[in-house]
Amino acid sequence: MTDRLFPAAAPVVSPLRNVDPRVKIAAAVSLSILVFQAGPGQIVLLSLFLALLIVLSGGRRRDVVRILKPIALFAVLLFFLHALFTPGREVLRLPLLPAVTHEGLAQGGTVAWQFAALVVTGGLLTLTTLPSELVAALDKLLRPLRIFRVPTQDLAVMAAMALRFAPTFLEEYQRMKTARLARGGGAPGERLSRKLRTTGRMAIALILGALRRAEELAAAMEARGYARGPRTSMRELRLTRGDYAAVAVMASFTGLFFACRLFM
C-alpha cells in the first residue's frame, strides 16, 4: 500500500532523476498546459515527447501501467460520454442510446488522451523525484509569495507532514478494518446501510486519531526547535548544467509545439 503512495521512495537511477525538482515541477506544469492546448496534430507530437520522457525516466512498462491503471476506467467513461453526447455527424446508432458521432469520437479521444497524458506527466514527476525533494522545490518555488506574507515555509512543512503521515494513516485504517473483521463486521453480503454506518464511524475514529497525533507531533516539532524564523535545509537545490539543458529542451519543445499549432 505504501509503495503505491510512494513510488519514488527509492527512485530509479535515470537522466530524469538527476534533474532539479524545480525544473521538473515547472516542466510538468508547462506540459500540462500544452496538453490542454493540443489539437490532433500536436497530440502525436506530445505523445512522442511523453514516450521519450518515460524512456529518460528509466521507468519500465509496469510503472506506466501502475500510473494509468487507477484512471483507466474513468478515461474510458469520459470517452464514451463524449462519443455519445456530442452533437455532429452520425457514425453509429446503438439501441436505446444516442447516436455515436464523428465529432464525439474525436472529442472523446482527445479528452481521454488529455486525462491520461496529465496523469502520466504527474506520475513521471513522482516516479523520478523523492517526496522530500518535491517539498524542498515547492518551498523554493513559492518563496516569492513571502512578500505577500504567505508563510511558504510552513506550507512546505505542512506538505511534508502530509506526505510523511499518509502511510501511517493507511496502516491505521488497515488495523481498524482488521479489527472490524475480527469482530464479525465487513462480511460479504453486508447491507449497504450498515457498511456506510461503519465507514462513517471508522472515518470519525481516524480523524480523532489524526487530531491527537497532530497535537503530539506539534509538541515534538516544537521540542526540536521548530518555530517561525531563519531555517536552513539539508537539501540545497542548485541548478547544474544538466538542469539548464533540460530547461532548454523543454523551451525548444514548447516552441516546436506552438509552431506546429500555427502551421498544421
Q: Does 226 bind another protein (CB under 8 A)?
A: yes
Q: Does 217 bind another protein (CB under 8 A)?
A: yes
Selected range binding another protein among 63-71, 131-139, 180-188, 251-259, rule: CB under 8 A = 131-139
- Residue 255 beta carbon to another protein: minimum distance, rounded to whole angstroms: 36
Nearer to another protein, 187 or 236 (CB): 236
Q: Does 94 bind another protein (CB under 8 A)?
A: no
Selected range binding another protein among 50-58, 76-84, 212-220, 245-253, rule: CB under 8 A = 212-220
10 Å Cβ neighbour count for 114?
19
Q: Does 174 bind another protein (CB under 8 A)?
A: no
Taking CB under 8 A as the criterion, the residue among 234, 241, 262, 263 binding another protein is 234
Taking CB under 8 A as the criterion, the residue among 18, 168, 199, 252 binding another protein is 168
Taking CB under 8 A as the criterion, the residue among 73, 147, 192, 216 binding another protein is 216
Q: Which residues bind another protein (CB under 8 A)?
A: 2, 6, 9-10, 130-132, 135, 160-161, 163-164, 167-168, 171, 213, 216-217, 219-227, 229-236
